[in-house]
Amino acid sequence: MCGIAGWIDWTRDLSDDGRTLKNMTDAIEHRGPDAEGSWLKGHAALGHRRLIVIDPDGGKQPMLYQNEKNTIALTYNGELYNYLELRKELTERNHPFTTNSDTEVLLRAYLEWGEDCVRHFNGIFAFGIWDEEKEKLILGRDHLGVKPLFYKIKEDQILFGSEIKALLAHPDVQAEIDTEGLSEVFGLGPMKTPGKAIFKDIYEVRGGHYMTVTKNDRKTVQYWKLESKEHKDDVETTVQTIRGLLEDTVKRQLIADKPLVSMLSGGLDSSGLTAIAGKEFKEENKVLPTYSIDFVNNEESFKEDFLRRDLDEPWVKRVSDHVGTDHTSIVFDAEKLVDNLLIPMRARDLPGVGEIETSLYLLFKEMKKDATVALSGESADEVFSGYPWFHQEKFLDADVFPWLLNIGGIAGVLNEDLKDWLNIKEYQKQRYQEALAELPVLEGESDVEAKQRRMSYMFITRFLPFMLDRKDRASMMTGFEVRVPFCDYRLVEYLWNIPFEMKNIDDIEKGILRRAFEGYLPDDVRNRRKSAYPSTKDDAYLAGVQKWMNNILDDSTSPILQLIDVEAVRKIADGESSLPDSSAKGLLDYLIQVNGWLKEYSIKVAI
């Protein structure tokens, strides 16, 4: 994994602008702490920060192809899991290779297939290719958008980078937010609209898309999307297909020249992947290291809620003993979570979900001490329709994104003038209707089946991008790569058309996945009900963010004061509101981050 940045200006020679390019790549040094590279010629400046995972000597970037007529330069972040097959195919098509890296495979794939090369890839990737002869830039992103890619077009130039901070390091880019950006921040929260970057005039290449940009033309192509069709496989065939796809995907994603480990929560998703990976390790006479997270006083203070049914750690031990992993549990206290609250915001360049992201960042920071790569069970709930909302009328019948019914309230603390100006409810409905218009319907489905397909689409295309962003930024902030087997596009395509009733077979969420893991996991683990990513229940954490918020409210220079109803927030910070502690904690987490974001990024609010 790596960080990329680039700058094309069709009216200038950028050969002497190395300092500006270096500022852009330095801003994302954390994504690639092992090496840096740059290439500047004519109208193009491409930069790279490298985290070495495969082929330490051969994967240096930017990577060039040159002949007497043309130079093609590539800067790339990601992994191609089918690069060995592609290399073989390209070799048969008379392409020579001088390295063992997937970077060279991507470059050669462009030489062979042009922009259609993306249709041949299975992996997680974001790249920029400069074709000097055509004076054309190609920006491409993987099917689900696991790897990030942002850009800004201004007059005759385009800037791009793995993170927004790379663009903000350029002198022509200002940190500014307008009405639409505020509506995203307070109306949708961290689950922003795909393609939007919140900052004014900065956008992202959406997953499953690529862009081509020349001086006089810009084109965006969706090369992959979900297609609805009848699922004709019976249950047993479906189970075996899922099992086969997961086994193949995990095996592909275990390839690394650096130490690899697995995340293990004791839940179905990470446990199943750990079991598959553990089997592969055993066949090579190795032991798979695994890691989990826990909190000080968690056993004493744990309370069951809508998303968390029981403690993870007993199940973690059960799976680790069964698979035979070398397990480490990382424990954090409330003070450490509070002290590090703003780091994930700096990683994302945007406010996030507070201590849930903070603990994830701290976990990766510890894991990085022992490894460079990890497997994660992220996205199984989205692609297997695992959330309880899929069978509850309140959520199925909603005319907004279903998660907003549970996590609404951010807009409720805005001041009255801003509430009237933004009209958040209307904005939420507008974005929901845009998503609905994309939905590939299937004729002949029942009303309930159609609603469940609709909800599945919302989770895959609107909620999952947030989850992937969270994991990418939290891991890459520590120079650590996390792979997500459940995001293999072949698996996602197949699951998309499996009826919810079959996904939910045996009258339990993700029942079809539980059957696929039969033989890999003990029955009690396979039948454990879903419990979400852990959150601290320690009262000390709530007290810490309440104190922090009061300090913000007492500081007349706090930028958030111009946006919020100060007295309403004060009541929450003083523990005098009617909000449950969990809701108060989440809201204060978010407002603290918004204030820190506005202040640290010196954001100009233009409304």
- The predicted model gives 12-32 an average pLDDT of 97
Pairing mode of beta strands 260-263, 373-375: parallel
Neighbours of 304 (CB within 10 A): 10
| Mean pLDDT value across residues 499-512 | 96
- Sign of the CA dihedral with 129 first, then 460, 192, and 220 last: positive
Confidence of residue 240 (pLDDT cuts 50, 70, 90): very high
What type of residue is 28?
I
If pLDDT is split at 50, 70 and 90, which confidence band does 109 have? very high
Mean pLDDT to the nearest integer, 421-425 = 93
Residue 408: which pLDDT band, with cuts at 50, 70 and 90?
low
H or E element that contains 552:
helix 539-554
Query: Angle at CA 106, nearest 5°, toward 16 and 128?
Result: 35
Q: In the structure encoding, which two tokens stand for residue 247, read together?
A: 């086994």
For residue 26, what pLDDT is reported? 98
* Angle between helix 566-573 and 581-600 (nearest 10): 130
Domains delineated in the chain = 2-222 (3.60.20.10), 235-285+316-324+377-526 (no CATH), 539-605 (no CATH)
pLDDT at res. 426: 95
* Sign, Cα dihedral of 123, 125, 131, 135: positive
Q: How confident is the model at residue 299 (pLDDT cuts 50, 70, 90)?
A: confident
Q: Could you report the per-residue pLDDT of 575-599, keeping only the tens digit for each?
A: 999 898 888 999 999 999 999 999 9
pTM above 0.85, yes or no: yes
Per DSSP, 532 falls in state P
Distances (CA, A) of 146 to 246, 276, 382, 439, 481: 18, 22, 14, 21, 11
The pLDDT tens digits of the residues spanning 117-171 come to 999 999 999 999 999 999 999 999 999 999 999 999 998 999 999 999 999 999 9
Distance CA 7, CA 239 (A): 47
Q: Say whether 487 is catalytic.
A: no
The residue type at 161? G
Q: What is the CA radius of gyration of the chain?
A: 24
CB-based contact 288:261 (threshold 8 Å): yes
Q: Where do the H-state alpha helices sit in 264-379?
A: 268-283, 298-301, 313-323, 334-339, 343-348, 355-367
Higher model confidence: residue 87 or residue 258? 87
Backbone angles phi, psi at 247, to 5 degrees: -65, -45
Quote the pLDDT of residue 572. Answer: 96
Q: Quick one: which of 58, 191, 60, 76 has its CA closest to 123? A: 76
DSSP 157: E
Task: Tokens 């390790």: give the residue.
Answer: 281
Which pLDDT does position 304 carry in this prediction?
67
**What six digits make up the tokens of 495?**
């699951």
CB neighbours of residue 251 within 10 Å? 15
Distances (CA, A) of 356 to 185, 388, 470: 18, 20, 10
pLDDT of 429 reads: 95
Task: Count H helices and E strands in the chain, helices first.
Answer: 26, 19
Asked whether the beta carbons of 441 and 452 are under 8 A apart, the reply is no
Q: What's the pLDDT at 409?
A: 66
Strand order in the sheet with 123-131: 63-66, 71-80, 123-131, 136-141, 209-213, 218-222
Distances (CA, A) of 380 to 175, 487, 488: 35, 8, 11
Position 496 scores a pLDDT of 98
Taking the C-alpha atoms of residue 586 and residue 258, their distance in angstroms, rounded to an integer, is: 37
Residue 285 has pLDDT above 80, yes or no: yes
Are the CB atoms for 467 and 481 separated by under 8 Å? Answer: no
pLDDT of residue 407: 58
Q: Is 470 helix (H, G, I), strand (E, B) or coil?
A: helix
Sequence-ordered list of residues with C-beta below 8 angstroms from that of 453, at least 6 positions apart, any chain: 228, 439, 441, 442, 445, 500
474: DSSP letter: H
Nearest to 483 by CA among 224, 140, 123: 123
Choice among 1, 2, 129, 158 that is catalytic:
2
Report whether pLDDT(17) > 90. Answer: yes
Would the pLDDT of 366 be above 90?
A: yes
Helices (H), 49-147: 83-92, 102-113
For 55: left if phi > 0, alpha if psi spans -120 to 50, otherwise beta; the answer is left
